[in-house]
Structure 1
Amino acid sequence: MGRGAAVTPYPAMRMRRNPLPKHCTLVIDRHGKYRVRFRKRGFSTYLPFPPVGDEFKRAYAAALAGVKEWTANVGSGRTRAGSFDALAVSYYRSVEFTSQRPSTQKTYRGIIERFRKLHGDRLVRDLRREHVKAIIGGMADRPHAANNLLKVLKIMLDLALDNGWIDRNPARGVKGYAKKTAGFHSWTDDEIAAFEARHPSGTKARLALALLLYTAQRRGDVARMGWQHVRDGRLHVVQGKTGAELALSLHPALLTELEATARDNMTFLVTEFGAPFSDAGFGNWFRDRCREAGLVNCSAHGLRKAAARRMAEAGMSADIIKSVTGHTNLRTVSIYTDAADQARLADHGIAAIGRAKQERKMSNLSPELDKREGK
C-alpha cells in the first residue's frame, strides 16, 4: 500500500472521492442536518451521521443486506417507555433479532412495523390474553398473516418478560389458524410443457424454468447462481434460507440452456439492465412470463415442488429428495411430494400386493413339486 493511502474499516467498501462508502451519498434534510443516504438497486435508506464507528458499520452492513436497520432506530430515545415502540427498538437490538438471517430480519421487521402503526404507543403491560385473541381473530381473512404476527408477538413478549416489563407472556397459549392451504401450486407436466411451448429454448424465460426445475432450489438461490458456482461439473449452492451446502449435478437440459443463453454472464439470470435480480424482482418477472403462457396459477416456487413430485413419482426415496432440495426433515419433504401422481404410485403398490400373493403360492407349491419329482 502506497504512502498516504486511505484505509477503510468497513467491509465490502471502496472509499471514493466524496469519501463515503459505496452506494452512499451525503445529503442535507429539510432541517438543515447532514444525513447519509444509501441507495442500491432500488433499495434506499438513511444511515447515521457521521459515517464512522460501530453504529455506522452495523447500519451499513444491514443496508447491504437490504435491511433498514438505522431508520428503525431513529427517534428511539423519544419512544414512550414500556410501549410497543420501545419494545420494537429493544428487540431490533437484541441477539434474538440480530442472530437471524437477513431475510428473516426483513420479514419480521415488516410484521412489526405494521403492528407498530396501529399499537406502537400502547403500553406492553396493558396487553391481555383476550386482546391478543381479538387481534388474531380479527384477521380471519388473512390466516397466514395472523399466524406470522402471533409468532412474532410471542418472541417479542418473551423479551419484554426478560426485561421485567411484564410478569407473563399473554400471547403464549393463544392458538393460530390451522394450515389448510396446500401452499404454492405445484406445476403439472402439462403446465411445464405449455411454458416451454411459449418460451422456446434459448430464451431467458426458458433458462429460468430450467434453473428452477432442474435444481429444485428456491427463487432467491436461483437468482444468485452463476458460473462462479460451477466446479468439477457440479453446481455448488449455499441456500440463503437454511445455509445448507449442496453440490448438484448439471442436468443436460439445464446445461443446454446455460450454454445457449448465459455463456457470457457471470450471474446466469440478469435484468434488462444487465444487473442480477433481487429475490422479489425475479419472482415478479417470472410470474409475468407464466402469464404470457396462460399459467396464472403458476409461480417460481411451484417448480421446486414439481421437481420433488417428479422425483417421488420416479420412486426416489425421501433421503434422495432431501439431498437435492436441501430439506432437513421428512415432514417438509412430504408437503412437496403430496402432488405426486397417486394413481401411478398406487399401480406400483397394487402390483406389489399381487406379486407377494403369487410368491407365497409358488413357495407353497415348491414342496409338492419336489415330492412329485422324487426329490
Structure 2
Amino acid sequence: MAKRELPKHVYRQRNGLYFQRRGWPSRKFESEFGTPAFWKEYADILGTKDQPKVIAHRSFVALIKSYRASPRYRNLKPRTGLDYDKHLDFFASIMGDRNPAKMQRKDVIRLRDANAEKAYFANYSLRVLRVLMEHCVDLGWRDTNPARGVPELKTEKREREPWPRHLLDAYREACPLGSRQRLVMELCVCTGQRIGDVLNMRWSDIQDGGFCVKQSKTKKELWVPILPELEAALKVASRNSVFILTNERGTNRWSYRGASAAVRVVREQIGALEYDIHSWRYNAACELVEAGCGDDLVASITGQSSAMVLHYTKKVRQKVRAIEAQRMRTEQKQNV
C-alpha cells in the first residue's frame, strides 16, 4: 500500500498504521484500513477537541513513564516489576533527556559492555532495554528495536545449590527464635515453597497441622504438614497481622525487598553470600531425597514437576545413589 493511498497524517509502520501529525500525540489504529471502523477512528482523532495537541518531548524519561503506564508493565509479577524498576531508573539516570528514537545498535552494545564487570546486571539491563525499546516501536516513535538480537555477555553459570548443613546451623545460631529472619528461613526450608508464596502466608492458612498453599506461579494447591522446627518458630511469632511475616510495624506483609535485605545481612555475617533465599527451596527438595522420598513425594511438598525435582536434587541424588552402589559393591565382595 503506497502512502498516497492513505489519508492525511496516516503512516504505515512495521507493526501497523499510525496517526502522526506535528504537535499531536501519535496514535495507532486498531481497525483495518478501509473499514467503517477505521474511518470512525480517523474522524474521532481529528474531531477530538479536549485532546492535548502538544506531544511530550521524546526522551527516555517520557518513554519510561509511558511504559510504566502500559499493560505490558502492569501485568508483570510484583517481583519482576521490582527488578525492572532498578534498570528503568538506571536508564533514566544515564539517558534521561536523550531521544530513544535515535538509539542505534552500537549504542546498545556500548551500554552492555560498559557494565561487563557486572555481567548479570549487564545482561538483565539488556533484557529490560529490549522490552522498553519494543514499547518505543509500539508508540510509533521508531520502526525497529535496536536491542533485538544483541547477544548477552557469556558468563560461567554457577548452578544454585542448597545451603550446607553448617551454614544452616550458623544461620539459626545468628537468628534466635522470635526474629523475622529465623521465621522466614524456617518457613522456606520446612515448607519448600518459593519466597513469594512464603511472604503471602497467613495465619488462617494453617489447617489440620499444615499449611494450605496455593502457589502463585503454578496455581497448584498443596497442603504441607508443619515440621517441629517450624512449629517452634511459629509458637513465638507475633500475631499482630493476618500475615505471618510482617513489616517492622507489624501492620502488613513483609516485602520481598525488605526480607531479601534482612537475610543478606545475616548471609554476610556468617559467610553465606554464595547461597540465597531461593536455595532454601533446594534444601527442602534435597532433604526429602536424602530421606528416601521418590519424585512424587518430593513434588507433594514442593509442587514441582518431575523434571524440576530432578534438576533441584541431581547432585544429592547422585551422592545417595553412589553411596548405595558402593555399599552393594562391598557386600558383593564379602559374599564372594
TM-score range, shorter chain: 0.5 to 0.7
Q: Distance in 1 between matches of 2:143 and 2:210?
A: 54
Report how far residue 140 of structure 1 moved.
0.9
Q: What CA distance in whole angstroms lies between the structure 1 residues aligned with 2:108 and 2:317?
A: 42
Q: Among 212, 216, 232, which residue is 1:236 paired with? A: 212
State whether residues 220 and 278 of structure 1, in contact with CA within 8 Å, keep that contact through their aligned partners in structure 2. no
Is 1:80 aligned with 2:57?
yes
Which structure has more RCO (C-alpha within 8 Å, separation ≥ 6)?
A: 2
State the alpha-carbon separation in 1 of the partners of residues 207 and 277 from structure 2. Answer: 25
Q: Give distance in 1, aligned partners of 2:145 and 2:170.
A: 52
Q: Deviations over 1:134-167 (max 9, x none)?
A: 2112211111111211112222222333333333
Relative to structure 1, the CA distance from residue 232 to residue 117 in structure 2 (aligned partners, 3 Å threshold; closer, same or farther) is: same
1:348 paired to 2:299: no
How far residue 213 of structure 1 moved from its aligned partner, in angstroms, is 0.8
Q: Could you tell me how far apart the structure 2 residues matched to 1:297 and 1:280 are? A: 18
| TM score, norm. by length of structure 2 | 0.68
User: What pairs with 1:287-298 in structure 2 (closer than 5 Å)?
Assistant: 287-290=264-267, 295=272, 297-298=274-275
2: CA distance between counterparts of 1:264 and 1:301? Answer: 27
CA-to-partner distance for each residue in 1:287-332, whole Å, 9 max, x for gaps? 44455656555543332222222234345455544443344683x5
Q: Is the 8 A contact 2:87 2:125 kept in 1?
A: yes
Q: Secondary structure at the match of 1:300?
A: coil
The reply on whether 1:97 has 2:73 as its aligned counterpart is yes
Query: What are the Cα deviations for residues 108-159 of structure 1, in whole angstroms up to 9, with x where unaligned?
Result: 2321121122223223332222221221122111111112111122222223
Q: Hey, what's the Cα distance between the residues in 2 that align with 1:307 and 1:316?
A: 12
The structure 1 residue matched to 2:141, chosen from 159, 165, 181, is 165
Deviation at 1:266, TM superposition (A): 4.1
Provide structure 2 residue ranges, at least 5 long, that are not aligned to the other structure.
1-53
The answer as to whether partners of 1:219 and 1:282 remain within 8 angstroms in 2 is no
1:325 paired residue number: 302
1:252 to 214, 217, 228: 228
Aligned mates of 2:94, 2:324 — CA distance in 1: 56
Shift of 1:264: 7.5
1:212 aligns with 2:212: no
Q: How does 1:196-207 map to 2 (within 5 A)?
A: 196-199=172-175, 205-207=181-183
Query: In the alignment, which residue of structure 1 is the partner of 2:30?
Result: none
Give the residue type in structure 2 aligned to 1:308.
Answer: A
Contact residue 85 and residue 120 of structure 1 kept, 8 A: yes
Q: What TM-score does the superposition give when structure 1 sets the normalisation length?
A: 0.61
Against the structure 1 CA distance between its residues 212 and 122, is the aligned structure 2 distance closer, same or farther, given a 3 Å change threshold? same
Are residues 1:300 and 2:277 paired? yes
Corresponding position: 1:110 with 2:86: yes
Unaligned runs of 5+ in 1: 1-76, 359-375
| Alpha-carbon distance in structure 2 between the residues aligned to 1:311 and 1:264 | 33
- Maintained 8 Å contact 2:296/2:306: no
CA apart distance, 1:341: 6.3
SS at match of 2:316: coil
* Partner in structure 1 of residue 258 of structure 2: 281
State the identity as a percent. 29
Aligned to 1:142: 118
Instruction: Kindly indicate whether residue 151 of structure 2 is the aligned counterpart of residue 175 of structure 1.
Output: yes
1:310 has 2:316 as partner: no
Whether the aligned pair in 1 keeps the contact of 2:267 and 2:273 (CA below 8 Å) is: yes
Paired with 1:185 and 1:207, the residues of 2 have a C-alpha distance of 21
Alignment-mate amino acid for residue 255 of structure 2 = S
Task: Please give the secondary structure, in 2, of the residue aligned with 1:340.
Answer: helix
User: How far apart are the structure 1 equivalents of 2:240 and 2:102?
Assistant: 60
- Cα distance in 1 for residues equivalent to 2:256 and 2:212: 19
Tell me if structure 2 keeps the 8 A contact 1:161–1:169. yes
